[in-house]
Amino acid sequence: MTDAAPSRLDRRKARTRAALVHAAQTFIADGKTNVAILELTQAADVGMGSFYNHFSGKDELFKAAVEDALDRHGAALDELTRGMDDPAEVFACSFRLTGRLHRRHPQLSKVLLNTGLTIAISEHGLAARARRDIQAGIQAGRFTVGDPELALVMSSGATLCLGQLLHTQPDRDDARATDQIAEDLLRTFGIPADEAHRICQLPLPDLDRLPYATA
């Protein structure tokens, strides 16, 4: 027995919620979180009553907006690294793709950067997958890391600081900078220098084939 197709009402509710989430992401990307609910509903082009059909308040909406951005990015990474067997390659590929996101999808990048501490401890998106990949690398004997959570902190911090640097220095080569940091992280996690370099020179899957940006 298959699930019934969403009704017209269900589809309308989903569109309303998506519009509110997108509006919140736009405000977050612009660094404007001290806004009234009326501003959010106007940006989403929905009524005030519709807002409370989905969220109890602004904080809940902003939380949903961040989780949506994280989940979109995490799902993209899962798809693009599907089939890779080496946890070190999976970690490096995910980091290298994320570094390239800052220029390719600047709005999504700014959502992530403007909620940096949330990313570092989140159970969604980038942090959850980095934690998983680091633990897989340890279990496979690829990483010699004493504390996976501290390794995650290093990885998350590098991701966020790199993104900010790339926005601040638009002339910097984002691919070269990202690959260098990914290589340095692999070496820190115990991968020999020559192998870390090889891994970070491997061809990347095409990020553009997955249009998950918030825009």
Look at 191 and 109; give whichever has higher pLDDT: 191
Phi/psi for 179 (5° steps) reads -65, -35
Residue 13 has pLDDT above 90, yes or no: no
Cβ atoms of 107 and 68 closer than 8 Å: no
Percent residues over pLDDT 90 in the chain: 43
Residue 164 has pLDDT above 60, yes or no: yes
Mean pLDDT of 19-43: 87
Mean pLDDT of 66-89: 86
For the stretch 85-134, pLDDT in tens is: 999 999 999 999 989 988 888 877 887 787 766 666 666 667 788 889 99
Cβ atoms of 189 and 151 closer than 8 Å: yes
Cα–Cα distance measured from residue 56 to residue 180, given in angstroms and rounded to the nearest whole number: 44
Residue 214 has pLDDT above 70, yes or no: no
Cα–Cα distance measured from residue 77 to residue 205, given in angstroms and rounded to the nearest whole number: 10
Look at 117 and 63; give whichever has higher pLDDT: 63
Give the model's pLDDT for residue 116. 66
Cα–Cα distance measured from residue 52 to residue 46, given in angstroms and rounded to the nearest whole number: 11
Hey, what domains does the chain have and what are their CATH numbers?
A: 63-209 (1.10.357.10)
Find all residues with CB under 8 Å of 73, minimum gap 6, and list them: 98, 101, 108, 112, 125, 126, 212
In this structure, what token pair is assigned to residue 55? 């969220």
For 208, which DSSP code? G
Residue 151 has pLDDT above 70, yes or no: yes
Residue 197 has pLDDT above 90, yes or no: yes
Cα–Cα distance measured from residue 72 to residue 122, given in angstroms and rounded to the nearest whole number: 14
